[in-house]
Structures are given as C-alpha cells and as structure tokens.
Amino acid sequence: MEKQLIRISVRNLVEFILRSGDIDNRVATMDKDAMQLGAKLHRKIQRQMGADYHAEVTLKRVIPFEEFDIQVEGRADGVIDGEDGVWIDEIKGVFKELDSLKEPIAVHLAQAKCYACIYAEKQGLAQIGVQMTYCNMETEEVRRFREEYQTHELEEWFLELVARYEKWAHFQAEWKKIRDVSIKKIVFPYEYREGQKKLAASVYRTIMRRKKLFIQAPTGVGKTMAAVFPSVKAVGEGLGEKLFYLTAKTITRTVAEQAFGILAERGLEYKVITLTAKEKICFCEKTDCNPDYCPYAKGHFDRVNDAVFELITTQKKISRPVLEAQAEKWKVCPFELGLDTAQWVDAVICDYNYVFDPNAHLKRFFGEGVKGEYLFLIDEAHNLVERGRKMYSASLYKEDVLHVRRLVKHMDGRLAGRLDECNKQLLELKRECDGIQVLNSATHIYLKLLQVIAELERFLEEYKDEAVREEVLNLYFTVRNFVSVYEHLDENYLIYCELEKDGRFQIRLFCVNPAVNLKEYLEKGNSTIFFSATLLPIHYYKQLLSTEKDDYAVYAESVFPPDNRLLVLGTDVSTKYTLRGEKMYRRYAEYLLTAALAKKGNYMAFFPSYRFMEEVYTVFAEMVEDRGACVDCLIQAPYMSEEAREIFLESFEEAREGSLMGFCVMGGIFSEGIDLSEDKLIGAAIVGTGLPQVCRERELLKDYFDARGVRGFDYAYVYPGMNKVQQSAGRVIRTEEDRGIILLLDERFREPGYQETFPREWKDIRQCTISSVGAMLREFWEGNL
C-alpha cells in the first residue's frame, strides 16, 4: 500500500514549530511579508541581480517516516550561483529604517536555511550560503546579511525541525484513514425531497469538474444538506481536502452545524470547527492583545501547540464552548486557538471574511503563494456582493489625518511633517470637490502614504504611550488598507472624493465589481458552490461574484404545495417619497391590522427604513387601541444585542390570546436566516420594493453600469432591493406543512422591471386593494381559495 504524503510549506513549518512567547499587538503591528506591496519591489530586486541570479526557484524535499512521508516545499526568492559559491537569497520588504536591523529576523532566517538545506542536499553541495535581503518599501534602500553553513550542520538542524512536526503528520495520516473509511459508508440521511437528489448530484459533478455552481433554491428544498453531503463524499473520493462553509450571519451557521451533526449521528467521522469573531470570544472586557493587559496573551505561543494537539485528538465537533473551555484550561487566547485548530480539521464554518477579506483572512490557507484542495460552500451567497464591495474598498478621511498630526506634533516632528504633507494634498482635493468628484488617479496620494506608513511604523515601535498609540494605530491600519487596495486598482474600481453632509472629507477607492478580487481567493481551492433562496436574476450574481463565463447554474423547484400559500399584491399603496404621509401610513396600518384579524397568529411586517416603520407602527398601535383589537406589537430596535434578538424571536413561540405583529426592517437581522416554522409565523407583509436609498455612491454605481451597456438602475437599486423582498417573504413557508400569507404592499410591484425578478413560484400572485384584501384572506384561511 502506498504511503501517505503529508505536505507542508517551508514557511508554515517554520512559523508553526519555532513560534514562542507572547501575543503582543504593540510590537507585531503587521505581517509585512504577507502584504502584496512588496511584490513589485521583489521583482525589481531580482531583475537587478545579474546572470548568476535565478529567481523564484521551486524547492521540495521528501523526508521518509515509517507510516508516511513528509514533503516540505516552497519557493526560494533567488539562488545565486557565482564565483564565491552558491547562495540562497530571501527577500523581505519592510517599512522600518534598515539601520535599526542589527541581524536577520529569526523566522526569516529559518525559512532561508530550510531552502538552503533542501537545495544543498539536491545539488550535493558541501556548503552553502544564506543571504537575507531587506528592502525598505519607501526608499527602496537595501541591506543584506550573509552567512555560510556546512551542509551537514544544516541537515542536522533541518531534520530535527521536521522531526518536531512528526506527531502532527502522524495525526493527519491516521485521522485521514478513519475519516475516509467513514465517508465511504455514509448515505444520505433522509429520503430525498423532490429535486434534492438532482441538486446534490449537481454539486458533486461541479466539484468533480473543478467548476463553480450557482444554486437558486427556495426554502424547504434542503439545500444545506444537498450541498454538504456531496461535498463530504467528494472529499472521500480525493476531490478535495477541506470544506469551508461560509456564511454572512452568525445565525445561519447553526444550520451548517446541524447538517454535519446529522451526518455524524449516522457514522461520519469528521472534525468540524465553528470560528467566532475575536470581539465575541475574547475573555477580556476590552479586546487588547498585549501581555501586560491580557493574561491569555502572555506566553500564548509557548502553550498553544500543546492545547491544539490535545483538542484535535480528543474532539470532533469544536464549537465555541469547546474552544473557550480549552483556552481557559491552557491559558491561551480562544480566538487564536480557534484559528490554529482550523488547520487540522476537515470543515471550517465561518464568516466570509475569514476567506475573502485581505485584512482578516486565514493566512495559513489564503496567504500569498498558499494553495490547497479546498471546497467552498457559500451560503446566502447574495450577501457576498455587498460584503465583497466593502472588503475590497478603502477610504481615507482628511480629518483623521489632521487629528493624528495634532496628537503627535509635539512628540514626533518627522511623523507630523509627513502627515502635514498628506493633509495638504487632501485639502487641495477638498477645495476642488463640489459634493462628489470622480478622479482618474490617486497616485500622488498613494506615494505620499507610503512615506506616512514608514513614519507611523517607526512611531509605533518607539512610543508606548497607550492613549496616543491607539489612535495612531487606527490611522496606521487605515492607511495600510488604503495602500494595499490601491495596489489592486483596475477597471472594476472607481476613485472618488466626497464632501459629506457632516463636513468630513474622504477619498475613496470603491470596488464596484468584486468578482476579480474574489477570484484571487477562490482560485486557491478546487471548486465553489454559491447557494441561496434568492439568487435572482442569476446573471447579476454571476457577473458580480465570478469572472468565468462557463459557470453552472441550477434552479431548484419549490417543494411546497402552492395551495398552502396566498401571495397578494396591494395596488393602492406606495412607498414613494412623494406619496408618504399620514394618509398612506394609515392605509398601510389598515392592511396589517386586516391581516392580523383575518386569522389569529404571528405576523411580521418588513419596512424599507426605521423611520417608515416607526411612522406606521405609531398609527397601527393607535388603531389597535381605538378598536379594542386583540393584537400585540413588537418593534425591531437599531443595534439590538444578541440577547435582545433572542427575546424578540422567543415572543413568536409564546402562546397568546390574539395575534402578534412584529415590525422589522428589510435586510435586517430578522429578514433572513431565522427559522419560524409551522404556526410560529403565518404571514409576512413586505412594505415597499426594498430599494436602497438614493445616495452618491449608489448613483456612481448606476452610472458605472450604464456606461458598460447594462441597466445601471437595476444593478444599483432594483436587484439589491428585490433580494431583500424575497428574503423577507421567505420567512413564512419553512416546511411542507406550513400555511401562510405574503402581502407585497406597493403598487410598484406591478411594474415589469420588478416582476421579472420574481421567482417562478410567484406566478400565482393576485392583486388586491384595502377594500378587497380582507375577503381574500378569509377565503384562504377557510380553504375556499
């Protein structure tokens, strides 16, 4: 039987085995090496090195063990084969002044020594040199450190390093055997619903062909299991190695956990972790990662590997409580423990940003030069368009630059001077800006910010005053992000400056179409499945989430009996601004009260904004009181805590004498991802078409797509708005036994532009007015429709 091959990159091996000490955000302000700012500089240095220099040399070495082999692999920046011998060159871009570097950084040197050992052994060299090349990102000044090694000494050091990794490789090899045997035995846990088997087959075929699939699947089809089961099967067939189940909201992760849990009950051996945001899982009152403040940060790296090993060898389902308990036991950071543990599990359930956000992604899996056998399952994929735009855009405010300049003016003249130069550039733009102005370039700002970064980093290393330091650090991250995004600018971006209503002035790099940026990360895996109950129109999502022209798409038919749902369109109401007022609010309230009195039960009404919701709520509450109606009211508040959300939803599970009407905002926390099945929710009223408010950035979006020959208004307003409408409507019918009503309350729903976005199962929509809706509702509930 062929031995398993366990692969690890040089960088991951070194950083994993040799790490020690504290987590300290005051020292390691950035992973400079992971920033792509240095890529051009890298190539420039390599081109200057002459004929003896061989750039980007791929190296690997297999070290045999009894039950498996370990392959250590990577790419050396350069190999110099000159008169003074052979040298391995490792290039690192930094912002700090090179005079402050007295010797190479240990982890960088270890990386280079690994490459040197692998190359020397392959070429049969008795000795080899290591050259560490540090280059200042702003000045392009270079400083080199050189040292020669005997190959036998390197060999001894290298094999000892790999030997320390042996127990981890042994775990991988043994667990893979157990996992794959269980996958072969597992069968689909239910009797397939109508269309579900076809959906699962489409997922498997897509993974087998290493493609992307867009699934539009109404609630109740069972799309989560139809995506998870064939993906797990594909892993068992060697078509992938790790699943990433990505969600936009915390509440939807539970569905994924349940799917894996059901398969585990039927015999699947699969290690699954759910990652929680740092702010939520942190044990301290304030998330401040330094050893003087946080006891879990002090000595974290001395203990974390042992904590991880114990966790992966004793647990399969690694939830937040499991992580917290293990972190408490070993006195390590629970957030970092989760990230490290993710490397050793079969499935990671997490937010989009862990994969796609350049400032937050898991560098172990998605850093520069890293690639793996990943399968991406992207739930509620409609959310990824706006999230992608946000992740790949950047803003810089003049006021923030000026504020920090004033803070440091008497502390650090050099930094204050650089900030002053930047502030003057922004002031010049501000004087030329009449509200909003699209720019052709911002290169002069970008070049100035490179100088600012260098000074900010020096300041952060030299000054420890916590009060000032925190504000400087915030600006540092803002500037770093702006510079990094600028490096990616292409035709999918708009550069504009804006004078906001409150007087603040920003320059913004706005990612209009995130598809190219998303591709950079999706290409690190094998296959991607985008799925949602609302991916219509499909061409819109395909254009903004993928650059490929041959992606697959599947429309899953609804499994619900059409007779179980009444869909009506109110034609005598409108949310247009020109028609808003007391009379219209009263008409909307009348619709809601009529619905609540037609049958006792729980209802939700979804509004385009908090203000509109509050106006109708006030009139509705007065009507209920005046008429002595037995109807209770709940209203969503802005910025609700998790506890407040739970209390809100628990109200829909309580027994009551009359009806309950919950007032919510479209696109908010209650319009998707919640599951109130059976009689917990029997009706939803959608007030308005959900169009985003007209603003300067939306208008830029509209103009951008108009200029490219597509309907800009639809791309900027209609499609995002109608997605919210469909999500809100999807709260009602959750199982095949559910019965419920959906009221679309806006005369604009009659227009062809909106109706063409309706899902197929909405073809039986009926029109009504306030005078006829009551009879329609009563007929439906009495079974006469």
DSSP letters spanning 549-586: SS-EEEEPPP-S-GGGEEEEEESS----GGG-SHHHHH
Cβ atoms of 215 and 530 within 8 Å: the answer is yes
Residue 586: partners with Cβ closer than 8 Å, 6 or more residues away: 619, 623
pLDDT of residue 319: 92
| Mean pLDDT confidence for 501-523 | 96
Instruction: Please give the backbone phi and psi of residue 553, each rounded to the nearest 5 degrees, phi first.
Output: -145, 140
- DSSP, collapsed to helix, strand or coil, labels residue 502 as coil
Region of 639 (left: φ > 0; alpha: ψ -120 to 50; beta: rest) is left
- Rounded CA-CA distance 242/255 in Å is 19
- Rounded CA-CA distance 507/436 in Å is 10
Tell me what percent of the residues of the chain surpass a pLDDT of 70.
Answer: 97
Q: Tell me, what amino acid is at 87?
A: W
Q: What is the band of 674 on the pLDDT scale with cuts at 50, 70, 90?
A: confident
Pair type for strands 212-216 and 242-247: unpaired
Instruction: Kindly state the tokens that stand for 684.
Output: 């939803």
Instruction: Kindly state the tokens that stand for 263.
Output: 């398969």
Pair type for strands 505-511 and 394-397: antiparallel
- Rounded CA-CA distance 476/468 in Å is 12
- Kindly report the average pLDDT of the chain as a whole number: 92
- Rounded CA-CA distance 340/303 in Å is 12
| Mean pLDDT confidence for 535-544 | 96
pLDDT of residue 226: 96
- DSSP, collapsed to helix, strand or coil, labels residue 135 as strand
**Stated pTM of the model:** 0.90
pLDDT of residue 36: 44
Condensed to tens digits (0 to 9), the pLDDT of residues 104-151 reads 989 999 999 999 999 999 999 999 999 999 988 778 888 999 999 999
Instruction: Kindly state the tokens that stand for 162.
Output: 């790999």
Q: What is the band of 464 on the pLDDT scale with cuts at 50, 70, 90?
A: confident
- State the alpha helices, DSSP H only, in 282-383: 300-314, 320-330, 334-342, 353-356, 363-366
pLDDT higher than threshold 50 for residue 722: yes
Condensed to tens digits (0 to 9), the pLDDT of residues 226-272 reads 999 999 999 999 999 999 999 997 777 889 999 999 999 999 999 99
- Strands (DSSP E) contained in 584-646 are 602-607, 631-635
| Mean pLDDT confidence for 495-516 | 97
Strand partners, 437: 497
Cβ atoms of 657 and 631 within 8 Å: the answer is no
- Rounded CA-CA distance 171/179 in Å is 12
Instruction: Kindly state the tokens that stand for 580.
Output: 């808003």
Cβ atoms of 248 and 387 within 8 Å: the answer is yes
- DSSP, collapsed to helix, strand or coil, labels residue 265 as helix
* b/e per residue 289-299 (b: at least 16 CB within 10 A): bebebbebbbb
- Rounded CA-CA distance 260/377 in Å is 13
Spacing of C-alpha 615 from chain mean position: 35
Structural domains of the chain sorted by starting position, each given as residue range(s) with its CATH number in brackets: 4-164 (3.90.320.10), 168-270+346-391+515-555 (3.40.50.300), 394-511 (1.10.275.40), 562-781 (3.40.50.300)
